[in-house]
Copies of this chain bind each other. A is one copy, B any other.
Amino acid sequence: MNLDSGDIEYLKGGYLLAALSPAEFEEVLAHGNVRTLTPGECLFDQGDPCTHFFFVLSGVIKLCRMAQSGEEKVMDLVRPGSFFAEAAMFMGGRYPVHAYALEATRLVVLDNRHFLGLVRSNGDLCMRLLSTMSQRMHCLINEIKNLTLNSGAQRVIGYLLEQLPEGDAAPNVRFRAPKHVIASRLGIQPETLSRVLAKLRSRQLIDVHGDQIVLNDVEALRRLS
């Protein structure tokens, strides 16, 4: 297991393991390891017995099936920060797709049998998993609504309000990531984010000092979102 602490944080952020207690997480890690694939290398084939599931640290994995015409149909491209083959794990049986590395790729490889044993032996953990997955799904659905229904400016405002701490002491927010990352999360270009913030600032609705944003008029912002 040559996972550095960054990798571990990254892995913990993935939805599947977020519900685990530290002890459970350690437990899972103990039965996992890291694997590096070369470009084009095959991880598993469609029909192989389903024995492990995976988390991408870097690189890209192609999941595909072969049509009888010989044509390959790409089902998914899995990029860093995502699990794959967990659904197959829960179903058991065999992998329904082929998995190839498209470039040099680092994976966390986790053992199905061990993970399922943990889940099965612990009804409480199972419920937590179902719960976090439900929550995550509601979030994703909201994000889709947000992307299709709201304008870029509205999404920025919504994001600011969302970041606002519960106990509304001082209405200011701090970007915990470079702005171009925030922009990408909101589905806009960094230039657009910059312009939106500039416009809000010119209307006195916010003040910007580096990554610190002060919301001067939460009410007005809420009306706009």
Interface residues of A (CB under 8 A from B): 15-16, 67-69, 71, 76, 82-84, 86-92, 116, 119-120, 123, 126-138, 140-144, 147-148, 166-168, 187
Chain B: which residue is nearest A161 at the CB level? Answer: B73
- Contact among B15, B69, B87, B187 for A168, CB-based, below 8 A: B69
> Given the interface contacts A69-B168, A123-B120, A127-B90, does A144 sit within 8 Å of B140 by beta carbon?
yes
Cα–Cα distance between A166 and B72 once the two chains are bound (Å):
11
B143 contacts A90, CB within 8 Å?
Answer: no
Please measure, in the bound complex, the distance between the C-alpha atom of A115 and the C-alpha atom of B126, giving whole angstroms. Answer: 14
- A144-B142 CB under 8 A given contacts A67-B166, A71-B168, A137-B136: no
What 5 A-B pairs have minimum CB-CB distances, sorted nearest first? A90-B131, A87-B134, A148-B187, A140-B140, A90-B130
Which residue of chain B has its CB nearest to the CB of A83?
B134
Chain B residues whose C-beta falls within 8 Å of the C-beta of A87 in the assembled complex: 131-132, 134-135, 138
Which residues in B have their C-beta under 8 angstroms from that of A90? 127-128, 130-131, 134
For the complex formed, measure the closest distance between the CB of A132 and the CB atoms of chain B, giving whole angstroms: 8
Q: Given A91-B128, A116-B127, A126-B130, list of 4 further CB < 8 A pairs?
A: A67-B166, A87-B132, A87-B135, A143-B144
B129–A130 CB distance below 8 A: yes
By the criterion CB–CB under 8 Å, are B140 and A141 in contact? yes
- Which residues of B sit under 8 angstroms from A148, Cβ to Cβ? 147, 187
Please give, as numbers and ranges, the residues of chain B lying within 8 Å of A71 by CB-CB distance: 168
Distance between Cα atoms of A133 and B135 in the complex (Å): 11
- A187 and B134 contacting across the interface, CB-CB below 8 Å: no
Interface pair A67/B168, CB less than 8 Å apart: yes
Check A68–B167 contact: CB distance below 8 A: yes
- Cα distance, A143 to B168, chains bound together (Å): 34
Q: Closest Cβ of chain B: how far from A18's Cβ, in Å?
A: 12
